[in-house]
Structure 1
Amino acid sequence: MSVEINNETGWDLDLTEFTDLVSFCLEQLYVSPAAEINIMMVDLKTMTELHMKWMDLPGPTDVLSFPMDELTPGREGHPSEAGVLGDIVLCPDVAAEQAKDAGHAPVEEMLLLTVHGLLHLLGFDHAEPAEEKAMFTLQRNLLLNFLAER
């Protein structure tokens, strides 16, 4: 599993924790061990520019996902194909504001957003209520199981 993380912000983060989380999630979702994923942590200005360029929406957002090879989860004994999952772009400053509103630590919000972005790379969406329920339940379970095993 190839997980590359670039922190282009002033945030002092334990990037190993994010790598471990992504590896755990991909293993749980039976994604090929040869899959590749990139995560970038960016500042407000960069995220605002990306949000406008790719979503045509003003202001920064918390996370953006850019799927590449359109990989989907596998199943036990039948992992997904190898390939490039894509890129996740996180904005720690936006995550910190959301964390404050939710009453938890900024790093917990960033880990949650990492799982959220990863699920988008694997084809999950939350446009419809049933999709949202399924995606958010899976997102929550993956994160809680990861945190319980640490």
Structure 2
Amino acid sequence: MRVHPRAELCIRLVDEDTMAVLHEKWMDLPGPTDVMSFPMDELRPGTRLTSHPRRACSATSCSARASAAVQALAAGHATEEELLLLTTHGILHLLGFDHAEAEEEKEMFELQRQLLLTFLAQRGRGR
């Protein structure tokens, strides 16, 4: 996606109480959510690479994997796969993707699906 190869990404797994505080502070919404992303620079896919790396930080809630485990169970897949989905979702938000509008949601979720399927397929070959 043409992000500088030296870009930095920080992923934090936090508990539900911490995520609830972040969600209220930054989104003015009560309770926890599953993913929040906090870009430090304006990362955008397909933009010209610069000579200096860009940095980004994403906070992802899994409450010691509990939230991811609950969501995974409801979706019928493993907790590890849910964590991969949440991580991919957060990274796409850092890259400027959103799902507030129907067309945006379609684009973001299709890209998310493609990235996850590609990663899982490549990971399966490396075992």
Question: TM-score normalised by the shorter chain: which range applies?
Answer: 0.7 to 0.9
Matches within 5 A, 1:81-120: 81=50, 82-84=53-55, 86-92=56-62, 93-120=66-93
| Offset, 1:107 | 1.3
Find the partner of 2:31 among 47, 50, 59. Answer: 59
Aligned to 2:12: 40
| Offset, 1:54 | 0.9
Query: Residue deviations 1:94-131, cap 9 Å, x none?
Result: 22211111111111111001010000000111111111
Given that 1:52 and 1:58 are in contact with CA atoms closer than 8 Å, whether structure 2 keeps it comes out as yes
Q: Distance in 1 between matches of 2:85 and 2:96?
A: 17
| Offset, 1:142 | 0.3
- Root-mean-square deviation (CA, aligned residues, Å) is 1.3
Q: Distance in 1 between matches of 2:118 and 2:18?
A: 32
Query: Residue deviations 1:60-100, cap 9 Å, x none?
Result: 1111000111111137xx5x33211x211112222221111
Q: How many residues align?
A: 118
Gaps of 5+ in 1: 1-28
Query: Residue deviations 1:23-74, cap 9 Å, x none?
Result: xxxxxx1211121111001111111111111111111111100011111113
Find the partner of 1:49 among 21, 36, 57. Answer: 21
| Offset, 1:140 | 0.5
Gaps of 5+ in 2: none
Taking only the aligned residue pairs, the percentage that are identical comes to 61
Q: Moved runs in structure 1, 4+ residues, more than 6 A?
A: none
The normalised TM-score by structure 2 is 0.87
